[in-house]
Structure 1
Amino acid sequence: MAPPALRPAIATRAWRAAGPHVARASAVATSAVISRRDLTVNDAQRVTLGVIAAYVVAIALLWNLPYIKWILWPFKMLVIAFHEFGHAFACVLTGGRVKSISLDPREGGVTHMQGGRNAITLPAGYLGSSLIGALLTFAGFNINASKIASIVVGVCFLLTLWWGRRDWLTIGTVLAAVGLLVGCWFIAHAEALRFVVLFIGVMSSLYSVWDICDDLILRKVNSSDASVFAQRYGGSSQCWGVIWSIISLGFMVAGIIAGIAAFPQSAAQQREDSQNFIPTKF
């Protein structure tokens, strides 16, 4: 047996010799544990998934039913604002200038732009709104994440309000949306905010899919973004619409999976965390 004074040195040399193998084994074991944890859906997440499923069914039923569909009208206008913001943001990023944004009471919208790259700005409406929807769906798995998301959305709305400052419908829609988000902060320490953010996220994600199908497959509207894109870059409007729809659904699924992986907290833990993060009195 080695003298006591030499034992730490021998142990150190042994650890260094086995280090790479131990490290790899430890990494594999840790990865397996993390994977099992991330794929495990707890009670709070089951509730969230159930709410998402209920939202999908409700929106699908209310989308085109006579008279009843007007229940969704304010939220349709809201996600149209996301759609137009996507066009505007892409225009600015590609060196263009946004002249104005306006929303149409018949559930339409238009962004007047000067410059920018059309190959990016045209699909940015649908893909941008669906990406925003996926991020909101992701945030809807957690109260504090919903608080942060509502702040970011508020900033986006203010930009939309600036670009649409001459359009009263745009102004009214944006202010009503901001008022709804602010009001939900004060309900059960913003627990209500989580479900509102989740609904807006699901609505924005599915709006891209349903609006593309509605315009290009059912109505075949020639003035859609996909139609203009097809005229300029080839292909058919239906083909581009299907591609954008698939991408939009992919964004939504990614948002759900990321939400499950990132927010394993229980409902009670979320409420406790919410009371310590930008707390509200009610």
Structure 2
Amino acid sequence: MAPVHERPGLFISEHLLRSARAAVVAAGPEVARLARRDAISRRDLTVTSDAQKVTLGIIAVYVVVIAILWNVPYVRWSLWPFKMLVIAFHEFGHAITACCTGGRVKSISLDPREGGVTHMVGGKSAITLPAGYLGSSLIGALLIFCGFDIVASKIASLVLGVCFLLTLWWGKRDWLTIVTILLAVGLLVAFWFIAHAEPLRFLVLFIGVMSSLYSVWDICDDLILRKVNSSDASVFAERYGGSSQCWGVIWSIISVCFMAAGIIAGIAAFPQSFAQQEEDSKNFIPTL
């Protein structure tokens, strides 16, 4: 009787063995494909295309140029139009978080010397106070990310236009705010029509780097160099404890992390060459 019970077991074992062997052979090409795909995924963060190399080089140049122009007397006024834009981002961060936390925006005013002011009623100050710096740095990181690709820059410019118009809607009716925002929108529109919007990519990239650096430098300028007591960080410290310098450093570190994340995400998402980007741009809201 024993051999009779062993034979079915042996038959089943051999059958399972053959089935397993067949499954391994059949899965071989698929495993190889997945391995190749994983290898490709790991290589996504390597800089391979000329477009990526040029973009990283331009970011480095922007960082150096902005840092120099920001601190040189008189020459620093050449950054005035772009500084007004990033101040608008800063105030937009306050405004949008106020609306999201149950508050209401009364007005926004922009000034290249004194900065911006957002007058609001209600909202949660624990969120709205850091949202100016962190909001502008987050917007900057997203713009840097989009600056790696022409089509993404087109999409970013559309969103920027909406943000600017919202700021204008909330804005205090002073000529500086109105003129700055209208010039910004006009500049974005004009760059759409140059070489299939290729220059738009570098404009978006510049605004992104400027916005990311503004959040860091403005905190340093206010809290370390000029000791301004009316900054967002000082108000936050008065209400929730800690020192303004401490909160300023924390927000600066977060801003730098946002910028680094934007660069890494741009490298991973947009490996296309200049020619591929131009071809894609021709198929997305094409212009002459």
TM-score relative to the length of structure 1:
0.91
CA contact (8 A) 1:41 1:260 kept: no
Percent of paired sites with the same residue: 75
Map residues 17-36 of structure 1 onto 2, 5 A cutoff: 27-36=34-43
Change (3 A) 1:75 1:18: same
Distance 1:172 1:15, change over 3 A: farther
CA contact (8 A) 1:77 1:107 kept: no
Cα distance change, pair 19–45 in 1 and its aligned pair in 2 (3 A)? same
TM-superposed CA distance for 1:14, in Å, is 5.5
Match of 2:52 in 1: 45
What code does the residue aligned with 1:274 have? S
Query: Is the 8 Å Cα contact of residues 83 and 112 (structure 2) preserved in structure 1?
Result: no
Query: Could you tell me which residue of structure 2 aligns to residue 102 of structure 1?
Result: 109
RMSD of aligned C-alpha atoms? 2.1
Look up the match of 1:279: 286
Aligned partners of 1:269 and 1:107: how far apart in 2? 44
Matched, 1:217 2:224: yes
Asked whether 1:170 is paired with 2:173, we answer no
Code of the residue aligned with 1:173 in structure 2: it is T
Higher Cα Rg, which structure:
2
Q: Deviations over 1:71-115 (max 9, x none)?
A: 001111110000000000010111111111011242411000111
Q: How much has 1:200 moved relative to structure 2?
A: 0.1
Report 1:132-171 matches (<5 A).
132-171=139-178
Indicate conservation of the 8 Å contact 2:44/2:267, yes or no. no
- The total of aligned residue pairs comes to 272
Superposed displacement of residue 257, structure 1: 0.4
**Which whole-Å deviations, capped at 9, do the CAs of 1:191-243 have from their partners, x for residues lacking one?**
01000000000000000000000000111100000000000001100000000
The one-letter amino acid of 1:83's match is H
State the partner residue of 1:75.
Answer: 82
Match of 1:190 in 2: 197
Matched, 1:253 2:267: no
**Displacement of 1:161 after TM fit?**
0.6
1:43-71 Cα deviation digits (max 9, x unpaired): 11000000000000000100021111110
Which aligned segments of 4 or more residues in structure 1 are displaced greater than 6 angstroms?
10-13, 17-25
Aligned pair partner of 1:201 in 208, 211, 215: 208
Does structure 1 retain, via aligned residues, the 8 Å contact 2:47–2:53? no
Distance 1:277 1:248 in 2: 31
Instruction: Give the TM-score of the pair, scaled to structure 2.
Output: 0.89
Secondary structure of the residue aligned to 2:193 is coil
CA contact (8 A) 1:76 1:107 kept: no
Deviation at 1:252, TM superposition (A): 0.4
Contact 1:100-1:112 within 8 A present in 2 as well: yes
Out of 78, 92, 96, the position equivalent to 1:89 is 96
Report the CA distance shift for 1:85/1:11 in structure 2 as closer, same or farther (over 3 A): farther
User: 1:13: how far off?
Assistant: 7.0
Aligned to 2:126: 119
Post-superposition Cα deviations, 1:149-186, rounded to whole Å, max 9, x if no partner, equal 00001011111010005232111111010011000001
2:132 maps to 1:130:
no
Q: Which moved more, 1:188-197 or 1:268-277?
A: 268-277
> CA–CA distance in 1 between the matches of 2:37 and 2:20?
24
Is the CA contact (8 Å cut-off) linking 1:105 and 1:169 kept in structure 2?
no
**Structure 1 gap ranges (5+):** 1-9
- Check 1:110–1:18 CA distance in 2 against 1; reply closer, same or farther (3 A cut): farther
Classify the secondary structure of the residue corresponding to 2:117: strand
Show structure 2 runs of 5+ residues with no match.
Answer: 1-16
> Quick one: which amino acid aligns to residue 232 of structure 1?
R
Aligned residue in 1 for 2:64? 57
Letter in 1 for 2:133: Y
